[in-house]
C-alpha cells in the first residue's frame, strides 16, 4: 500500500503532465502484480471499490477519538477523508502494512457487514499516507489529476508500444491487468481483443497552415464541415452497443437516447451533437449534457443527441480500416441509404474544384455548429493517431477582442515564478467587467514582459492573486483570440469564452481603447442566430 500511497501523493502535487507520466511509469516498473494493476485501475477509473461511505468512516473514527478533538481537527483540515487518515490513532501494529492487492481483494470479496471491521484492522496497519490512500480508494475520490488517457499513455511508454496499441485492447481487459503487463514486458503475446464492442483508436487530423495548400492537390481530397461537437465512436457488435469519446473513455451511459439508433453491426466514427428540428445546435447545448451519468428524460427531450457520421471502421462484421477513405465512405453511404437510421445523419461532402472555392465555402458556414472544414485524402486508410499528410483540419479564423488585464496569478511548475494566469475584462457601463481567463498564447519573451508589468503595477493582493492597474489611461491591453461565446450564469458578464488565449500584447493601446461588453453581446447574438 505504501508505494501506491507514495504514488498518489506524488501525483497530487505534480503539476506537469510529463512529471505525472514519469511517476506512473516508475511505479509500474517497480511494483509487482497484482498491486500495480489495481493501482492502474484505481487511477483510470476501472476499479470500482466504492466499499464505504464517508459516514462509516466517521462512525469508525468516533469510536477512537474524542469528539471535541475530532471536531476541532475536521474544522481545521476541512476534508473528512484526510482528517480521518491523519487523526486515526493506530494501535501498535501486529502485522505488516497490507499490500494494495490484499486490500482490494479483501474488500471486493467481503460481505457488507464485515467491511467496518476489515477497514478498522487495515487502518491500524497503515501509516498516515497509507490511510489516506485507503480512504480515498474506498470512497472513490482519488482526485490526483490523472486521466484514463494519461494512464494508458504511461502504459505505452512503459512497454515501448504506441498508445493506440493499448487503446485497442484496453476495453477488453480488467484490473489487475496481468496479461497486459505480461505482454508489455515481452513475456507473452498481446492480449486478444476478444470482447465485443471494443474501442478502436481514433484517426486524428493536423491543423492546416494555409501555406501548405499550394503543395496539396485538391483532386486528391474530400472535404466536409468540421462540426463543433465531440468526436464519438459508436460501436454495435454482438448485441452490445457502446459510445466512446476520442480519448477511449466510454460515454454510453450519458446518451441512452442514441442507443436505439445503433442498429448495425460495426463501428462508426462521427460527431456527437445536439440536434432538433433538423438543425445542429451550438456546442453550449451539448455541454449541458456532457459529464452526466444518467440524464433526466426531460433533458433528453429538450436537448436530443444525434450523431453526424463521417466514417465506417467496420460494417457487417468486416474491418474496413485498411481500405481507402473513398471506399469506406461508399460503404457508409450504402448502409445509411438502406437503413435511414433515426438520429444518425451523414456529414455531407463539400464539392470543390479549387482551394479558393473551398476557402469561400469555409468563410460562409451553414450555422453555429460548424467550426471550419476538414480535408481527407481519398486514398488514405484509417490510421490510428495523428499521422501527418492524411487528414487536415482547417479551422475558421478565431474571433478577437481587445481586453484589459485585471488580475494575474503565478503559474505552476516551470512557471511558478511567473505571473502567467490572467483575468481580463472589457468595458461595461460601470467600468471594466471580467470576461475570461487566459494562460497561454504568449511567447516566453512576452511572458517576461507581462510578468514585469504585473510586478510593477500591482495595486492589490488577494492571497496568490495580484490586481494590476486598470484605469482608462494606465493598464495593459491584451488582444484575446477565442473560438466562440456562450451564455453563462456563472460569469458576472453573463458570457463565457471558448478557448481564450493571448494573441498579442497591445502596448500601443490605452485601456480606454479596449472593447466594450456590448461588442461581445452583439457577437453572441450573431453566433446564436447562426451567422457565426
Partner 1 sequence: MPPPSATPPLLVQRPAGLYVPAADLHIDPVRPVERAVITHGHGDHARPGHGAVLATPETLAIMAVRYGPDHAGATQPLPYGRSLDLGAVRLRLVPAGHVIGSAQIVLDSGGMRAVVSGDYKRAPDPTTPPFEPVPCDLFVTEATFGLPVFRHPPIGHELARLAASRAAFPDRPHLIGAYALGKAQRLIASLRESGEAGPIYLHGALERLCALYTELGVELGPLRPLREAGAADLAGALVLAPPSALGDRWQRRLGDPVTGLASGWMRVRARARQRNVELPLVISDHADWDELTATIAEIAPARLWVTHGQEEALVHWARGLGIDAEPLSLQGYTDEGDGAGETEAPA
Considering only residues 437 through 496, tell me which ones interact with partner 1, judged by CB under 8 A.
463-464
Q: Is 35 in the site for partner 1 (CB under 8 A)?
A: no
- Is the bond into 176 cis (omega within 30 degrees of 0)? yes
Return the number of other C-beta atoms located less than 10 Å from residue 149's C-beta. 17
Query: Which class for 125: exposed (0-12), middle (13-18), buried (19 or more C-beta within 10 A)?
Result: buried
Least distance CB 21 / partner 1 (angstroms) = 11
The C-alpha cell that represents 175 in the structure block: 484490473
Q: Which residues contact 314 (CB under 8 A, 6 or more apart)?
A: 200, 237, 266, 267, 320, 321
Give the H or E element holding residue 220. none
Q: Is 423 in the site for partner 1 (CB under 8 A)?
A: no
370 - beta bridge partners? Answer: 227
* Residue of 55, 68, 456, 489 that binds partner 1 (CB under 8 A): 68
Phi, psi of 301 (to 5 degrees): -70, -40
* Number of residues counted as binding partner 1 (CB under 8 A): 35
Describe the crossing of helices 67-77 and 54-62 by its angle, rounded to 10 degrees: 140
Would you give the binding string for partner 1 spanning residues 277-316, x where CB under 8 A is met? ----------------------------------------
Please give the Cα distance from 398 to 498 (Å, whole number): 10
Q: Where does this chain touch partner 1 (CB under 8 A) — which range of 68-76, 272-280, 386-394, 479-487?
A: 68-76
| In contact, 252 and 171? CB cutoff 8 Å | no
Q: Where does this chain touch partner 1 (CB under 8 A) — which range of 32-40, 50-58, 318-326, 410-418?
A: 410-418
Active-site annotation holder among 20, 136, 226, 376: 226
Least distance CB 55 / partner 1 (angstroms) = 20
Q: What angle do CA 93, 94, 100 make, to 5 degrees?
A: 70
Considering only residues 126 through 145, tell me which ones interact with partner 1, judged by CB under 8 A.
127-128
Place of cell 452490445: 240
Q: Where does this chain touch partner 1 (CB under 8 A) — which range of 39-47, 60-68, 113-121, 168-176?
A: 60-68
Would you give the binding string for partner 1 spanning residues 248-267, x where CB under 8 A is met? --------------------
> Taking the mean position of all CA atoms in its chain, how far away is CA 305?
19
* Residue of 49, 56, 65, 142 that binds partner 1 (CB under 8 A): 65
> Is 395 known to be catalytic?
no
* Residue of 10, 106, 204, 447 that binds partner 1 (CB under 8 A): 10
Q: Is 87 in the site for partner 1 (CB under 8 A)?
A: yes
C-alpha count within 13 angstroms, C-beta hemisphere, residue 251: 23
Q: Is 239 in the site for partner 1 (CB under 8 A)?
A: no
Q: Is 13 in the site for partner 1 (CB under 8 A)?
A: yes
Question: Would you please indicate which residues are annotated as catalytic (active-site) residues?
Answer: 226
Positions in the binding site for partner 1 (CB under 8 A): 6, 10, 12-15, 19, 22-23, 26, 65-66, 68-69, 72-73, 76-79, 82-83, 86-87, 89, 127-128, 410, 412-414, 416-417, 463-464
Amino acid at each position: 500500500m505504501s508505494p501506491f500511497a507514495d504514488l498518489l501523493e506524488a501525483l497530487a502535487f505534480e503539476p506537469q503532465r510529463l512529471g505525472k507520466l514519469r511517476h506512473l511509469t516508475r511505479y509500474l516498473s517497480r511494483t509487482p502484480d497484482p498491486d500495480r494493476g489495481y493501482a492502474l485501475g484505481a487511477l483510470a477509473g476501472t476499479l470500482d471499490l466504492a466499499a464505504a461511505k464517508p459516514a462509516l468512516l466517521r462512525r469508525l473514527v468516533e469510536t477512537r477519538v474524542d469528539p471535541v478533538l475530532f471536531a476541532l481537527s475536521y474544522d481545521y483540515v476541512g476534508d473528512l477523508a484526510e482528517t480521518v487518515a491523519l487523526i486515526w490513532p493506530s494501535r501498535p501494529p501486529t502485522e505488516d502494512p497490507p499490500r494494495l492487492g490484499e486490500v482490494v481483494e479483501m474488500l471486493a470479496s467481503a460481505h457488507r457487514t464485515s467491511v467496518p471491521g476489515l477497514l478498522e484492522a487495515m487502518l491500524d496497519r497503515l501509516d498516515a499516507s497509507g490511510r489516506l490512500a485507503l480512504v480515498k480508494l474506498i470512497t472513490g475520490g482519488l482526485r490526483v489529476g490523472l486521466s484514463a488517457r494519461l494512464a494508458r499513455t504511461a502504459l505505452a511508454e512503459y512497454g515501448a508500444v504506441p498508445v493506440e496499441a493499448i487503446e485497442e485492447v484496453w476495453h477488453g481487459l480488467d484490473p489487475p491487468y496481468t496479461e497486459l503487463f505480461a505482454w508489455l514486458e515481452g513475456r507473452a503475446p498481446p492480449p486478444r481483443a476478444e470482447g465485443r464492442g471494443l474501442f478502436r483508436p481514433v484517426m486524428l487530423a493536423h491543423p492546416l497552415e494555409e501555406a501548405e495548400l499550394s503543395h496539396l492537390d485538391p483532386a486528391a481530397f474530400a472535404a466536409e464541415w468540421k462540426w463543433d461537437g465531440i468526436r464519438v465512436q459508436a460501436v454495435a457488435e454482438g448485441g452490445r452497443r457502446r459510445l466512446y469519446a476520442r480519448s477511449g473513455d466510454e460515454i454510453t451511459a450519458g446518451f441512452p437516447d442514441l442507443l436505439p439508433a445503433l442498429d448495425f453491426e460495426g463501428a462508426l466514427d462521427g460527431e456527437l451533437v445536439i440536434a432538433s428540428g433538423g438543425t445542429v445546435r451550438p456546442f453550449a447545448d451539448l455541454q449541458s449534457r456532457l459529464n452526466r451519468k444518467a440524464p433526466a428524460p426531460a433533458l433528453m427531450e429538450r436537448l436530443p443527441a444525434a450523431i453526424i457520421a463521417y466514417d465506417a471502421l467496420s460494417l457487417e462484421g468486416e474491418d474496413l480500416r485498411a481500405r481507402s477513405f473513398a471506399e469506406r465512405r461508399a460503404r457508409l453511404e450504402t448502409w445509411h441509404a438502406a437503413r435511414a437510421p433515426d438520429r444518425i445523419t451523414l456529414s455531407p461532402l463539400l464539392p470543390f474544384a479549387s482551394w479558393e472555392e473551398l476557402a469561400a465555402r469555409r468563410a460562409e458556414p451553414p450555422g453555429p455548429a460548424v467550426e471550419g472544414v476538414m480535408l481527407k485524402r481519398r486514398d488514405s486508410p484509417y490510421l490510428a493517431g495523428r499521422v501527418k499528410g492524411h487528414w487536415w483540419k482547417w479551422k475558421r479564423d478565431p474571433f478577437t477582442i481587445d481586453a484589459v488585464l485585471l488580475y494575474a496569478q503565478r503559474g505552476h511548475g516551470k512557471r511558478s515564478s511567473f505571473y502567467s494566469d490572467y483575468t481580463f475584462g472589457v468595458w461595461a457601463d460601470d467600468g471594466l467587467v471580467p470576461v475570461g481567463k487566459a494562460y497561454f498564447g504568449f511567447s516566453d519573451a512576452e511572458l517576461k514582459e507581462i510578468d514585469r508589468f504585473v510586478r510593477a503595477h500591482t495595486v492589490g493582493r488577494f492571497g496568490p492573486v495580484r490586481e494590476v492597474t486598470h484605469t482608462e489611461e494606465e493598464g495593459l491591453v491584451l488582444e484575446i483570440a477565442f473560438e466562440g461565446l456562450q451564455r453563462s450564469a456563472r460569469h458576472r458578464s453573463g458570457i463565457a469564452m471558448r478557448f481564450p488565449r493571448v494573441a498579442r500584447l497591445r502596448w500601443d493601446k490605452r485601456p480606454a481603447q479596449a472593447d466594450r461588453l456590448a461588442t461581445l453581446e452583439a457577437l453572441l447574438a450573431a453566433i446564436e442566430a447562426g451567422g457565426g
